[in-house]
Amino acid sequence: MPEERSGPLSHLTVLDLSRIMAAPWATQIFADLGADVIKIERPGAGDDTRSWGPPFLKDKAGSTTRESGYYLSVNRGKRSVTVDISAPEGQDIIRQLARTADIVIENFKAETLQRYGLDAASLRAENPRLIYCSVTGFGQDGPRKDQAAYDFAIQAMGGLMSVTGERDDKPGGGPQKVGVPIVDLMTGMYAAVAILAAVARRNETGLGDVIDLAMLDVQAAFLANQAMNHLVGGRVPQRGGNRHPNIQPQDVFPCADGFLVLAVGNDGQFAKLCDVIGHPEWASDERFSINAGRVKHNPELTELLTARFRTFSRDNLIARLDAAGVPAAPINTVPDVLADPQIRHREMVRDLPHPLAGTVRHVVSPLRFENAPLRFSRSAPLLGEHTHEVLLQLGFSESAIADFKSRGKI
């Protein structure tokens, strides 16, 4: 039987027919929030990301397992059930699970699940309260609907790489992708928001809904100020390295012994910056006194700041800026972040139980609730770890489960 659940969504059951990153990121959010997430995987192979290594987790004896770091990062807290959805027996199992589920989320190509009778219309005919979310690269309609998509490609065609990276005329210039699969992650976040909106609506109407979410749409949506800059100003946004297109000074600056990020957000902070670095007159300079001027005269301002910052040690300057209320920060490595005293205090990294490794360190959800605290009680599941458990819950006999297994259906 599944363990007792807690968290604000502990009353919900999610049937997860997805793999890779975008939709699984959404279902991990639901698992963190307490929902029972049943992850359906291919017998013998499982989620594609299981093989996306190295690195792979080592077990208690130090031997390498099949559990990749990538897979572990996005499947925390779920139950894994292996099912061959191309077989009638597998389709029947999925339909039975969907009858009592609150949410189904899948990321197959458009119209694929219709062939198996597992599309939204088929499953919602038996469970009108079901919320069915389809995540694809381009949506359920339109000229690209049959194309496959990966995060990297969507970052490129969705405009993100046109505004990410150093200018072409600078050393290292050229387009860059973001260092994490940001389109996948944002798509997962949008999926979670959309599903929760449908849950809230169902509480009023008693009926579920169908959600059509496309990665390219998501990328277009979170072009945010860059898209609006173009729509309002008519200019084509360009790569500017670390320089902010609308607010200055916001950039990476070299100090005597390293780099810092400066993120001045208003004229008052700029005046405080000038005081800290010993040039209060810059705050009244007509070129720099207001943000619009600092954006217009950014090359001159950057040259002045760069020369001045080189006379300070990084940590000393950051401490002085922090004391003055001017946002600045070091550029930390991943280990630096995980060792940060604030991250440790907030318990963002925790050891979760794992059947092979004993425990695995995870970066957990940042969500905190006073009345429904989250409980992180297990790592990502082994392939098919919960198949027997879930099929028994559905009412299948031991002999039927053994038969399915012997024929490779689960």
Show the domains of the chain with their CATH numbers: 13-221+344-406 (3.40.50.10540), 250-331 (3.30.1540.10)
Annotated active-site residue in 102, 119, 184, 251: 184
* Token reading at 386: 């919960």
Residue 331 has a pLDDT of: 95
Task: Give 310's contacts (C-beta < 8 A, 6+ positions apart).
Answer: 254, 255, 256
pTM of the model: 0.94
354: three-class secondary structure by DSSP: strand
**Does position 309 have pLDDT exceeding 80, yes or no?**
yes
Residue 192 has a pLDDT of: 98
Instruction: Please tell me the distance from the alpha carbon of residue 328 to that of residue 252, in angstroms, as a whole number.
Output: 10
Residue 199 has a pLDDT of: 98
Question: 398 vs 97, 275, 291, 389, 393, CA distance in Å?
Answer: 18, 76, 71, 10, 11
Give the mean pLDDT of 245-257: 95
Instruction: Please tell me the distance from the alpha carbon of residue 307 to that of residue 326, in angstroms, as a whole number.
Output: 19
Residue 5 has a pLDDT of: 83
4 — pLDDT class (breaks 50, 70, 90): confident
Residue 1 has a pLDDT of: 47
pLDDT per residue over 323-376, tens digit each? 999 999 999 999 999 999 999 999 999 999 999 999 999 999 999 999 999 999
pLDDT per residue over 263-299, tens digit each? 999 999 999 999 999 999 999 999 999 999 999 999 9
Give the mean pLDDT of 102-118: 96
Residue 2 has a pLDDT of: 56
Q: Which residues pair with 206 in a beta bridge?
A: none
Q: Check: CB of residue 52 under 8 Å from CB of residue 71.
A: yes
Share of the chain above pLDDT 90, in %: 97
Give the mean pLDDT of 18-32: 98
Task: Check if 184 is active-site.
Answer: yes
* Token reading at 265: 């957000």
**Does position 234 have pLDDT exceeding 60, yes or no?**
yes
